[in-house]
Chains A and B, each alone.
Chain A
Amino acid sequence: MDDPTLAAQYAQSGDLMDLCNNEAWLRESAQVEDGMQVEAGLPVREYSQTVAALTSEQNQQVRQQMKVQSILFTALRQWMESWDLGAGFDDTYAIARRLIRHHLANPNETQLATIDKLLAESVEPGNMNLSTGKQAVSLLAEMFTQEDWQAMAEAASHSISSRVLSTGKIQPVTTAV
């Protein structure tokens, strides 16, 4: 991370993070970080030690969970964009993620089979193709219960109503004379 490169970027755009759009910078970051641990600060020491002590099998388990959740959450986000939730999106998305994690703890046979299929396709979540996205959404639709839909609807409604109410508190009421 050499100062002249950073200073030039800052002078050009006022935002060092624009370097993340630069292929050479990204390549260099990958090289610099390769094989390195990066954790800083006493508070994360135990976390770092635990991760370093993972066996190959445990590591595979964590990576598999990561991949499943990443595929499903990416499909969920894309699906939810068609629900037109506006300001209620984030809270509803957060609840939906929680519900998915809950169901993933005890998947039924059909869900397991679909998950295996999604994993076997070696999908890159960021570049999910249409067919994989559809399979993932079908799985989510099968997973969500009536109570889940109710919980999501309440989260959306609560999120929007609290925004309106907080605006009402902050904005002074002005009336035309």
Chain B
Amino acid sequence: MTNQFWQAYLFGWIFWVSLSLGCTGLLFLFHAVRGSWGLPILRVLEAGTKLLPWMGLLFVPIVMNVLMGGDLYPWVHRGSDPILAKKAFWLNPGFFAGRQIFYFLIWSIWATLLTRSAKSQDRDGDLNRQQFRSSFGAWGMVMFILSATLAYTDWVMSLDPHWFSTIFGAWFIMGNSLTAFSFCTIFVASRSLKNKQPWAGANTFSFRKDMGNLMLTLCMIWAYFSLSQFLIIWSGNLPEEITYFTRRFNDPMLLTIGTLLIFCQWMIPLLCLFAPRTKRQTHLLLKVATWIMFVRFFDIFWAVVPFFMVPAHDKANPMRMILEPGFAISCGVATLIFGAVWGIIFGILYKSENALPTFDPRLQDLMEADVHV
């Protein structure tokens, strides 16, 4: 029972840290390429990123679980498993804990430097600071993609210590960006619909078009990565890899969710976002973004929670694993609790800054251009 508590805890944490990491990745990308799409949502991305140290604190119990020999990660008790013995150089409690400190430290420091620079520009209007953020953000992308790949290997992939897939980290990074974009769209669009300034002013047609197209692209990339992983593992049919899909396909509930995800996270958003009307009307885009954020929960659920399945004790099929419905619900509850914590800290962090970057001529250009449309 206590193990199920930690499993639900880990899942709830993963969903929200993924949103924060999505914000971090987009923040680095925005500063690296200096796209105008990021200006209206810059403060949202920054606040989401600033949550990382807090999310790191919330991960301490999990690290303690690993260090104290808990059952959450099966590789903690190696037994006589020869493969786990070979993996011990990476999967051992001490190194695991050390890596977690490293990830959260480097992400937080890097993001703080970028955020400080943007804040100073708000104060003194010195546009030369952009140059620093551009190169620092580009290096940040490199650092971030590598470290986030390793982080998801630690957090999720190692839950089944025999399983591995090289695209898994990239799959999470892309999915996180999708979550973050839908969150930012919801944030700006819902305030804009209530005519709250300055978001109503920032919610230009070009902003909605950017958000819509970026979500569209990321839905495609999500589908592309998912299909690649499925097709390659399914065709190879190797015993240590195929377990990922057999677990998810043998359980009726998971099979249903997995099948629906194809429609809900790929086809439906795709059709909606292809239509120019969706991007022209704020309330439609808000609906699509809310839908995507909602479906993202099930996607991460489908990716993470089946790692916690237990043997079904089925004599006809001794390999069968099941997911207990009660446990699945507790995972949902954990997500809600973490969401409340995440939301409160986010609100405080967001309010401590200007809602939009001031002194950025590109934002003024965007907002003025919209008046003439």
Is B one of A's binding partners? no
